[in-house]
Amino acid sequence: MPHKPILIIPGQPKSIFYEIFFKSLKRKIKSPLILICDKKDCLINAKKFAYKEIIQEISINDLSKKIYKNKVNVINVNLRILKNKNDQLQNDKDYIFRCFDIAFKILKKKITYKFINGPINKKKFLNKNYLGFTEYITNKFHVKNTVMLIYNKKLSVVPITTHLPIKAVSKKITSKLILRKIKVINDFYIKNFRYKPKIAVAGLNPHCESNKAFNEDEKILFPSIKKLKKSGVDVSGPFSADTLFLKQNRKIYDVIVGMYHDQVLTPIKTLFEYDAINITMGLPFLRVSPDHGPNEKMVNKNLSNPTSLYKALEFLDNK
């Protein structure tokens, strides 16, 4: 059975994407690659990072007939270079969302189910209606039950709330949200990895204790976990977050679920650095992105680590 193509958009123009992309291509990827980007910009960067293979331009109308298997296929989206910084920022934003729009059209036509977006500074390029690009993509496909998985074969993590300020987290923690997200994790692992994951849940409060009248760990988390266990999910907790990532616990669990973003992303990035990818579970396709930002300060220095993007390509290449 032929490999479905991997659809890729670079993300924001000023980023380390092309450096890590062309470095990643030094390793073998079996799936055809379709890059939605400015072809001229792509060719400039290919030369800069010593990529000598042919880059072939294709049309969105030709995808059902013509995708070159052993080349980088490019759907050209023009990126203008302007002198005015404010105009350039708006132009870059328009470029990013034109790339997304083309990718979404291709995904909706089911030409492929594999999608990678390069790193983007959400503060610069996303309006206030969305907390992040995970939420933006979720909205565009009218899906409610999506979950962010930071994935490594040894251990993965999921935040129940994403990109929220700490003061807003406790208000968002509900039994309904926990039940829904942990069921998505369980179903995703069974479908994509062919096994039922062992899941641990970190409590919201330090040591799962609170001096307030209402303790979320006792009133929300514990009953939710009990209910999930009865439904057949292999889940335990709530556990104190300060010891949950100790070595002996990491050997037991496949996924650790936390209540907020940095509660689980800080330890996973400390443990694995660039050896992790961001997967959005619950979409009608596989969306993956490198688990790091655009790192604008490192642009053109040729010092960036391509591991996360390569792992993203490798993950989709095997699906």
Share of the chain above pLDDT 90, in %: 71
DSSP state letters, 142-211:
T----EEEEE-SS-EEEESS-S--HHHHHHH--HHHHHHHHHHHHHHHHHHHSSPPPEEEE-SSGGG--S
Domain boundaries, the chain: 1-143+283-319, 145-282
Average pLDDT, the chain: 91
Q: Answer yes or no: CATH 3.40.718.10 is held by domain 1-143+283-319.
A: yes
Give yes or no on whether 1-143+283-319 and 145-282 have one common fold.
Answer: yes
Taking only the tens place, the pLDDT of each residue in 63-107 is 866 787 878 999 999 998 877 888 888 898 999 999 999 999 999
pLDDT the model gives residue 6 = 96
pLDDT band at 316; cut points 50, 70, 90:
very high
The answer to whether 121 touches 133, Cβ cutoff 8 Å, is: no
- Cα–Cα nearest to 221, from 209, 244, 238, 199: 238
- Verdict on whether the full-model pTM lies above 0.85: yes
Alpha-carbon span 118 to 92, nearest angstrom: 14
Taking only the tens place, the pLDDT of each residue in 105-154 is 999 999 999 999 999 988 888 777 777 788 889 889 988 889 999 999 99
- Fold exhibited by the domain 145-282: Isopropylmalate Dehydrogenase (3.40.718)
Q: At a CB cut-off of 8 Å and minimum separation 6, what does 201 contact?
A: 178, 182, 221, 225, 235, 236, 237, 238, 239, 256, 257
DSSP 71: S
pLDDT the model gives residue 64 = 67
